[in-house]
Amino acid sequence: MADSWVNPAERIGSDLHLDLNPEMAKGGGRRAALGRALREAIGSGRLAPGTRLPPYRSLAADLGLARNTVAETYGELVAEGWLVARQGSGTRVAPRAKPVGSPRVPKPMPARAEPPAHNLRQGLPDAASFPRTAWLAAARRALNAAPNDAFGPGDPRGRPELRRALAGYLSRARGVRTSPETIVVCSGVAPALRLLFGGKVLRGPLAVESYGLPFHRSILRAARVRTVPLTLDEHGARATELFALKGARATLLTPAHQFPTGGPLHPERRAAAVDWARGNEGVLLEDDYDGEFRYDREPVGSVQGLDPQRVVYLGSLSKSLSPALRLGWMVLPDHLVEPVLRVKGEREAWAGVTDQLTLADLIESGHYDRHIRRTRQRYRDRRDRLVALLARRAPHITLTGVAAGLHAVLSLPPGTERPVTRAAAWQHIAVDGLAGFRHPAASMPAHDGLVVGYAAPPDHGFEAALDALCGVLPPPPDRD
Amino acid sequence: MADSWVNPAERIGSDLHLDLNPEMAKGGGRRAALGRALREAIGSGRLAPGTRLPPYRSLAADLGLARNTVAETYGELVAEGWLVARQGSGTRVAPRAKPVGSPRVPKPMPARAEPPAHNLRQGLPDAASFPRTAWLAAARRALNAAPNDAFGPGDPRGRPELRRALAGYLSRARGVRTSPETIVVCSGVAPALRLLFGGKVLRGPLAVESYGLPFHRSILRAARVRTVPLTLDEHGARATELFALKGARATLLTPAHQFPTGGPLHPERRAAAVDWARGNEGVLLEDDYDGEFRYDREPVGSVQGLDPQRVVYLGSLSKSLSPALRLGWMVLPDHLVEPVLRVKGEREAWAGVTDQLTLADLIESGHYDRHIRRTRQRYRDRRDRLVALLARRAPHITLTGVAAGLHAVLSLPPGTERPVTRAAAWQHIAVDGLAGFRHPAASMPAHDGLVVGYAAPPDHGFEAALDALCGVLPPPPDRD
C-alpha cells in the first residue's frame, strides 16, 4: 500500500500532499485516517472550495486502499457537509466549507495569574493531605457493591448510601438532627445558596454577617436577594438585631466559626437566632464550612440541632477533603425538601455518583473520621507555629480566631491594612485583607486586619511564608 | 462503670432514663456519647426547659465517668445553646431549647413513582454496562499520577489532563477541530445551556428544532430566552428558515441524530446553518448527545469541524457511560472561552476532579473506545431485535430513526398516540409519545408516534418489554 498521496495533479491542485501516516498513527483504521486527512486538508484550505476530487477508483489506487473504503469515506464527508456530490460532475469540495485559517490553532488562553511565592489565602485545605489510598480503596468497595441502578438517571436527593452515611456522621460529629430523608446532596455551599435563592425556594431580604464571603454575596446579588448586615462583635453576630429587621425572611450565619473573624456564636445568640426564626416564620441558614476543625476542645455542635424545622444546615468536603471534589449537602426542614427537589430536578444530580458512593464508604468505614483527626492534628501544629512565630517576631500584633478552622485573623493598627496588603502583593504573598470581606452596607466600625490561611502552603514552604509575612507587618509603635 | 443513668429523682424529673449504651455504640468515646444522650433527651422533650441538671460530680458518679468529662460536656452543650449555666443556680436546660416533637422523625419523603414494569423511556443507556473494573483501574492510575494541585481549588476550565484527552478523542471520533484551550469541562449538556444562556454568554432568540427535549426548553425559558421552532422533515431541521428569522442570534441543533425523530441533518442544511451563523454573527449550538452510536456506517462527524469559530459543540457521558456521572464538555469558539470562564467562576468546577482524572485516563488508555465499541454492538443487537419483532408482530407500524442512537420512533396512525400512551401507562410500560417533545409554537403538522428507548431494559426483560409494547399498539387497518 502507498503511504502517501502526492499530487494527483490536474484534479486537485499541484501542492496537495495527503499523508495518511500521521492520521493512521491516531488509530481507527485506514478509512478513519483517510477521512481525517481529507477534513484536515479542506479545513486548512489546502483543498479549496469547488475543487474536484479524484474518482474513487483513482484515489483508491493511489493510496492502496479498497475502492469501497474511498467511496464510503467520500459518502461520510458528503454527509458531514465537507464535500458535495452531483450526478455527472463528480465529488467536489463544498463551496461553503471555506477555511477558517490555515491549520486553525486556537489562540492560547491568557496565562492565569502567576502562582504566588507564598500562598496564605484563606479557604484552602492542604492539597497534599488528600487521602488518595483510602479514597481509592473506598471507591473500589463502593463501586463493586453498588447496584446497577446507581448508574441510571440518579436520584436528585443524592444516593441513599451517602444520605444514610451523612445522617449518621452529622449527628455524631456535628450534633445535627436529621435522617436520610431530609438530606439533599449538592455540589457545595455556594451552589446550595444558588439553588435555594436562585430557585426561589427561599426569598430575601436575608440578614448576613457584616463580614463574610464576597462570593456568597455575589451569588445572592445575582439571585436579586437583598442582604442586610448584622453587627459582629467578639461573641459573633448580634442575632437580636434580627428582631428589628422588619421584613427579613432568613439569615445566613457561620455559628461554629464566624467567617472570617473566627469566634463561635455565643450561646444566647444561637438561641436568639432560633427564637427569631420561630417567631417570624424565618429560616436560619447555618454555613458549617469548617466545623470539624476546632483545636482546643470538642467542636461546637450545630445550631440546627436546636430546631431542625427552622434551620437549613449546609456543609461540604471543600475544607475537609478537597474543594475540587464539588460535593456538599443540605440538611433541610421537612417542608423545604420537596421545593428543593423540584428546583433541583431529575437531571441535575450535580455531584457525580462515583464520588457520592465513595464518600459514603469512606464515612461508614471510619476512614473519613481518621482523615479528619489526622488533618486536624496537622492544622493545629500549623496554627501553633503561626502563633509562636508571631509572638516572637511581631508581639505587638494580635492574632484572633485561632481556636478553630484553617485561618486566623491578624489584627492590624488602624489605617495599616492597605499598605500591608500592598506590600504583601509586592512580595508575592497571597493573603487577603479584612476589607474585602466587609459587607458594603455594614455600619459597624471597620477593623484593619489580615485573614491568614495556614493550611495550604506545603510543609517545606510554611516557615518561609510566615517569615515573608512578618516582613511586611507594620513595625511596633515607638515607646517613649 | 454504670451503663445507664436511671432517675436522679429530685433533680431532673422522675421518668428520665439516660442510657449511654446506644450512644456509646455510635463511637466517639464516652464524652461524645454523653453529649448525644443529653441532646437527645432535651431535643425530644424528656428534659424540659428550665430543668436543673445534677452537679458534675453527682452525674459523674452516677455514670461512672470522670468529673472532667461531665464538666466539659456541660460546657459544650452550653456553648451550643442547649443548656444555660448561671452562677449560683447551677446548669439548667435552656428555656428556649423547646422540643420540636417527641423524638423528631422527619416525615418520610413522598414515595417516588413505582418503577415501571417495562422501561422503554428514551435517553437512558444500559446501567448494567457501566465498566466498573475499567473505571476503577483508570481511577487508580489517574489518582496516583495526579499532582497535588489537582486537589486544590481547581481550574474552572476543567483538569488539563481531561481537556487534552478530550481534544484528541473528539478530533479522532467526532471530527471536532479543537485544542485543550477551547474545551471547558462541565456537568452535562443541560448545565452547559444553563450556563451559556442563564449566564448571558449567549442570548436569544434561539432557533430550535420543532421536536426536542422539553427539559432544554424549560432551562431556556427559565433564562428568559425565547425559542423559535424550525420545521423538521426527513432531512432534519430546515436550516434555511434561519435566514428568515430576523433577530435570531443562535440555533440549537442535533445534527448527528435529530432528537427525537432520528435522522441526521442533511449536508446542505449543515452547510446552510453554518452559512447563516457566518453571515449573521450567529452561533450554532451542536448537541452531540449520542453521536458515537451509529450502527450501519461510520458515525456522522460534527458540524463543528466545518467552522470551529461559529459552533459551540456540546457533549457528555450521559449516553456513553452514565447520566449519573454528571460530566460533559463544551468546545467553544475562541471568543467565547473567556466569557464562559467568567460566568463559570473559580468556585464552580462542577464536575468532580476524581471523575475528570479518571475519564482522562480511560480515554488515553483506550478503554473508553473499547467501551463504546462494546456498547455499540450491544445496542445494535437490541435495535435489530426491536426491528425484527415489530416487523413480525406489527408490520403495519413504521419504525424510523433506527440507524443510530439509543431510541427509535414508532410512527402511529393519526389520532392514536394518546390512546396508545394511555394503554401503555395502564400496562406499566414507561414510554413517551412524540407530542411531549413538540415545541408549543411549532407550526409543522404534528405526527403521532412513540419514542422507544431500547437500551435501558435489562437483557432478561427486553423481550417481555417489547411484547408488552406490541400489545398496546393499534391493530392493522381492516382490509376490505
Tell me if B257 sits within 8 A of B297, measured CB to CB.
no
Tell me if B59 sits within 8 A of B90, measured CB to CB.
no
How remote is the C-alpha of A354 from its chain's centroid? 17
Q: How far is B67 from chain A (nearest CA, A)?
A: 16
List all residues 6 or more positions away from A338 whose beta carbon is below 8 Å from its beta carbon.
B110
Residue A286, φ and ψ in degrees, nearest 5? -105, 105
* A210 and A139, same domain (yes or no): yes
Would you state the pLDDT for residue B2? 38
pLDDT tens, residue by residue, B163-189: 999 999 999 889 999 999 999 999 999
Could you please report the per-residue DSSP string of A264-300?
A: PPPHHHHHHHHHHHHHTT-EEEEE-TTTT-B-SSSPP
Residue among A478, A186, A454, A123 nearest A332 (CA): A186
Residue among A299, A257, A305, A263 nearest A284 (CA): A305
In eight-state DSSP terms, residue B84 is E
Share of chain A above pLDDT 70, in %: 91
For B39, the closest of A28, A175, A338 (CB atoms) is A175
Q: Does residue A185 sit within a domain? A: yes
What does the alpha-carbon distance between residue A326 and residue A329 come to, in Å, rounded to a whole number? 10
A29 close contact with B: CB closer than 8 A? no
Which has more confidence, B480 or A86? Answer: A86
- Give the H or E element holding residue A193: helix A189-193
User: Among the ranges B69-78, B117-126, B280-289, which has the highest mean pLDDT value?
Assistant: B280-289
Tell me if A81 sits within 8 A of A94, measured CB to CB.
yes
Strand duo A283-287 + A250-253: pairing:
parallel
* A436 and A349, same domain (yes or no): no
What does the alpha-carbon distance between residue A122 and residue A377 come to, in Å, rounded to a whole number? 18
**Minimum mean pLDDT range among A177-191, A318-332, A390-404, B8-22:** B8-22
Q: Which CATH number goes with the domain that contains A191? A: 3.40.640.10
Q: Which residue of A has its CA nearest to B85?
A: A267
Task: Inform me whether the pLDDT recorded for A161 exceeds 80.
Answer: yes
Task: Inform me whether the pLDDT recorded for B130 exceeds 90.
Answer: yes
pLDDT band per the 50, 70, 90 thresholds, residue B101: very low
Would you state the pLDDT for residue B46? 72
pLDDT band per the 50, 70, 90 thresholds, residue A73: confident
Tell me if B355 sits within 8 A of A355, measured CB to CB.
yes
Strand partners, A205: none
Would you state the pLDDT for residue B114? 66
pLDDT tens, residue by residue, A166-176: 999 999 889 99
For A79, the closest of B107, B124, B267 (CB atoms) is B267
pLDDT tens, residue by residue, B426-442: 999 999 999 999 999 99
B65, B93, B121 - which closes a domain: B93
What does the alpha-carbon distance between residue B135 and residue A429 come to, in Å, rounded to a whole number? 40
pLDDT band per the 50, 70, 90 thresholds, residue B63: confident
List all residues 6 or more positions away from A476 whose beta carbon is below 8 Å from its beta carbon.
A394, A395, A396
* A451 and A336, same domain (yes or no): no
* A445 and A301, same domain (yes or no): no
Burial A164-185 (b: 16+ CB within 10 A, else e): bbbbbbbbbbbbbbbbbbbbbb
Most B CBs within 10 A among A86, A100, A182, A367, hence the mutation to make, goes to A100
Q: What is the largest CA-CA distance in chain B?
A: 103
Residue B264: cis peptide before it, omega within 30 degrees of 0: no
All three cell numbers of B173:
471520533
Distances (CA, A) of A35 to A10, A19, A274, A407, B1: 22, 12, 67, 56, 80
- What distance, in Å, lies between the first and last C-alpha atoms of chain B? 93
- Which pairs count as long-range contacts for A384-389, CB under 8 Å and 24+ apart, including other chains? A385/A462, A385/A463, A385/A466, A386/A452, A386/A454, A386/A466, A389/A463, A389/A466, A389/A467, A389/A470
What does the alpha-carbon distance between residue A251 and residue A207 come to, in Å, rounded to a whole number? 4
Would you state the pLDDT for residue B480? 52
* A320 and A354, same domain (yes or no): yes
Q: Which CATH number goes with the domain that contains B393? A: 3.90.1150.10
CA atoms within 13 A on the CB side of B14: 0
B369, B384, B416 - which closes a domain: B369
Q: How far is A267 from chain B (nearest CA, A)?
A: 5
The average pLDDT across A391-418 equals 92
The amino acid present at B284, given as its one-letter code, is L
Residue B458: cis peptide before it, omega within 30 degrees of 0: no
* A399 and A442, same domain (yes or no): yes
Would you state the pLDDT for residue A480? 52
Written in H, E and C, the secondary structure of B389-434 is HHHHHCCCCEEECCCECCEEEEECCCCCHHHHHHHHHHCCEECEEH
- Residues of chain A with C-beta less than 8 angstroms from the C-beta of B91: none
Q: Does residue B320 sit within a domain? A: yes
How remote is the C-alpha of A106 from its chain's centroid? 26
What does the alpha-carbon distance between residue A442 and residue B479 come to, in Å, rounded to a whole number? 83
Residue B186, φ and ψ in degrees, nearest 5? -145, -165
What is the total residue count of chain B?
A: 480
Tell me if B165 sits within 8 A of B211, measured CB to CB.
no
pLDDT band per the 50, 70, 90 thresholds, residue A72: confident
Q: Which CATH number goes with the domain that contains A25? A: 1.10.10.10
Q: Which residue of B has its CA nearest to A366?
A: B27
| Average pLDDT in chain A | 87
* A200 and A349, same domain (yes or no): yes
Q: Is the Cα torsion angle B387, B391, B397, B403 positive or negative in sign?
A: positive
Q: Which residue of A has its CA nearest to B306?
A: A97
Would you state the pLDDT for residue B298? 73
For B127, the closest of A106, A140, A151 (CB atoms) is A151
What does the alpha-carbon distance between residue A49 and residue A52 come to, in Å, rounded to a whole number? 9
Task: Inform me whether the pLDDT recorded for B232 exceeds 90.
Answer: yes
Residue B110: cis peptide before it, omega within 30 degrees of 0: no
The amino acid present at B475, given as its one-letter code, is P
pLDDT tens, residue by residue, A20-66: 777 777 767 888 888 888 888 887 777 778 888 888 887 887 788 88
The amino acid present at B362, given as its one-letter code, is L
- Residues of chain A with C-beta less than 8 angstroms from the C-beta of B347: 188, 190, 215, 323
Most B CBs within 10 A among A31, A70, A109, hence the mutation to make, goes to A109
* A304 and A201, same domain (yes or no): yes
Most B CBs within 10 A among A354, A368, A371, hence the mutation to make, goes to A354
B324, B347, B369 - which closes a domain: B369
Number of structural domains chain B divides into: 3
- Give the count of Cβ contacts less than 8 A between chain A and B: 292
**Minimum mean pLDDT range among A193-202, A388-397, B109-118, B124-133:** B109-118
Task: Inform me whether the pLDDT recorded for B5 exceeds 60.
Answer: no
- Give the H or E element holding residue B162: helix B160-174
pLDDT band per the 50, 70, 90 thresholds, residue B353: very high
Collapsing DSSP states into helix, strand and coil, what is residue A141?
helix
Most B CBs within 10 A among A347, A364, A372, hence the mutation to make, goes to A347
- Residues of chain B with C-beta less than 8 angstroms from the C-beta of A306: 80-82, 96-97
pLDDT tens, residue by residue, A422-464: 999 999 999 999 999 999 999 999 999 999 999 988 888 899 9
Most B CBs within 10 A among A31, A44, A70, A96, hence the mutation to make, goes to A96
Strand duo A17-19 + B206-209: pairing:
unpaired
**Minimum mean pLDDT range among A132-146, A406-420, B31-45:** B31-45
Share of chain A above pLDDT 90, in %: 61
Q: How far is A79 from chain B (nearest CA, A)?
A: 5
Task: Inform me whether the pLDDT recorded for A341 exceeds 50.
Answer: yes
pLDDT tens, residue by residue, B276-287: 999 999 999 999
Residue among A375, A360, A415 nearest A180 (CA): A360
Q: Does residue A282 sit within a domain? A: yes
A68 close contact with B: CB closer than 8 A? no
Could you please report the per-residue DSSP string of A73-103?
A: HHHHHHHHTSEEEETTTEEEE-TT---SSTT
* A353 and A458, same domain (yes or no): no
Strand partners, A228: A207
Residue B13: give the domain boundaries.
Answer: 8-93
In eight-state DSSP terms, residue A297 is S
Q: What's the helix, strand, coil split of chain B in %, to 5? A: 45, 15, 40
List all residues 6 or more positions away from B357 whose beta carbon is below 8 Å from its beta carbon.
B139, B142, B143, B146, B150, B159, B161, B162
- Where would I find the H helices in A313-366? 334-344, 353-364
Task: Inform me whether the pLDDT recorded for B453 exceeds 70.
Answer: yes
Q: How far is B394 from chain A (nearest CA, A)?
A: 30
Q: Does residue A424 sit within a domain? A: yes
What is the total residue count of chain A?
A: 480
Between positions 138 and 177 of A, the ones with CB within 8 A of B are 139-140, 143-144, 146, 148-155, 157, 168, 171-173, 175, 177
Tell me if B287 sits within 8 A of B254, measured CB to CB.
yes
Q: Does residue B431 sit within a domain? A: yes
What does the alpha-carbon distance between residue B44 and residue A356 come to, in Å, rounded to a whole number? 31
Q: Does residue A40 sit within a domain? A: yes
Tell me if B7 sits within 8 A of B54, measured CB to CB.
no
Would you state the pLDDT for residue B35? 86
Q: Does residue B348 sit within a domain? A: yes
For A80, the closest of B155, B175, B215 (CB atoms) is B175
pLDDT tens, residue by residue, A99-141: 444 334 444 444 455 678 899 999 889 999 999 999 999 999 9
Would you state the pLDDT for residue B133? 97
| Average pLDDT in chain B | 87
* A162 and A228, same domain (yes or no): yes
Q: Does residue A108 sit within a domain? A: no
Task: Inform me whether the pLDDT recorded for B15 exceeds 80.
Answer: no
Task: Inform me whether the pLDDT recorded for A421 exceeds 70.
Answer: yes
Tell me if A60 sits within 8 A of A69, measured CB to CB.
yes
Task: Inform me whether the pLDDT recorded for A275 exceeds 90.
Answer: yes
What is the CB neighbour count within 10 angstroms for residue B386? 22
List all residues 6 or more positions away from B440 whose beta carbon is below 8 Å from its beta carbon.
none
Share of chain B above pLDDT 90, in %: 60
pLDDT band per the 50, 70, 90 thresholds, residue A77: confident
pLDDT tens, residue by residue, B288-346: 998 888 887 777 889 999 999 999 999 999 999 999 999 999 999 999 999 999 988 75
The amino acid present at B455, given as its one-letter code, is A
The average pLDDT across B83-109 equals 62
* B463 and B322, same domain (yes or no): no
What does the alpha-carbon distance between residue A242 and residue A220 come to, in Å, rounded to a whole number? 19
Collapsing DSSP states into helix, strand and coil, what is residue A345?
coil
ipTM: 0.83
Burial of A440 (0-12, 13-18, 19+ CB in 10 A): exposed
Residue among B50, B51, B67 nearest B59 (CA): B67
pLDDT band per the 50, 70, 90 thresholds, residue A11: very low
Would you state the pLDDT for residue B346? 59
The average pLDDT across A401-416 equals 92
Residue among B369, B376, B367 nearest B139 (CA): B367
* B205 and B328, same domain (yes or no): yes
Residue owning grid cell 469559530: B309
How remote is the C-alpha of A128 from its chain's centroid? 17
Q: Is the Cα torsion angle B293, B294, B299, B303 positive or negative in sign?
A: negative
Q: Which residue of A has its CA nearest to B34?
A: A172
Residue owning grid cell 489506487: A61
Task: Inform me whether the pLDDT recorded for A17 exceeds 90.
Answer: no
All three cell numbers of A345:
430536578
Would you state the pLDDT for residue B479? 58
- Residues of chain B with C-beta less than 8 angstroms from the C-beta of A173: 28
What does the alpha-carbon distance between residue B27 and residue A172 come to, in Å, rounded to a whole number? 8
